[in-house]
Structure 1
């Protein structure tokens, strides 16, 4: 089942259960949008999803758990336990520190443009360069493109001159 269909059923059930009319959800979204959501004809942004949760007086995570329960045909307590296990693993792997590093004063920390560096390839180039291999030899040995090897080579040289 598509997530927007699961949201449609969940939204409808919550609205009926709480005897909420479309007009009462107008702060969250237009009446026609709520109707289209309940028919599974449209999707919403995360911000609108949060607004719906507030308007329905339900915790955002509870609303998502209900939607995912419907989508996966799995009881929500099972999903919550699975999520809890994944969160604990994320925490044990140092993920919370990495998450905290992504923000400063409530704003997302900007990172440089471009593709993130493949540290395994960078370290392999670093090791072979230290062994005295040329860029061409490293291209042959690692099977990387000359452009990638050159990019890593320049980074290593820049690091060496910075020290």
Structure 2
């Protein structure tokens, strides 16, 4: 198994503002939020260095946070060193964020070079034309028995077997 490593790109949270809403500010660092898809309510605690940024965003008039369909999570902040993005509530982030992975599997070629990343339940990101064709012809249509898609152990075993037969190695991400 490969280990997921965040590279601070912020793509995961770039449209989460439509799903995570701040309902109430308790004090300068504590908020009650709601995840709109499940209606779950959860408390969060903002890291001290991002208190002002989150508070300003929360206090901003409605409609100033980007287009209605795609808004960043209200807790996605630019790192203080200016390189990349970070989660201002990482230690208290909700379960949906804890379970999220930008990719579900890493695919390596026969020489051990990273050739692709499986995103979500079945999409692959690759510039390797042979791998892209293999994925489209042999893997994309495979059924997922598990609701988490690529975390389905039968799917993972089938996919890694197909990849191995074509001289690739697939490492599922934990």
TM-score (norm 1): 0.28
Q: Which has the higher strand share?
A: 2
Q: Which has the higher helix share?
A: 1
Larger radius of gyration: 1
Question: Larger relative contact order (C-alpha < 8 A, sep ≥ 6)?
Answer: 2
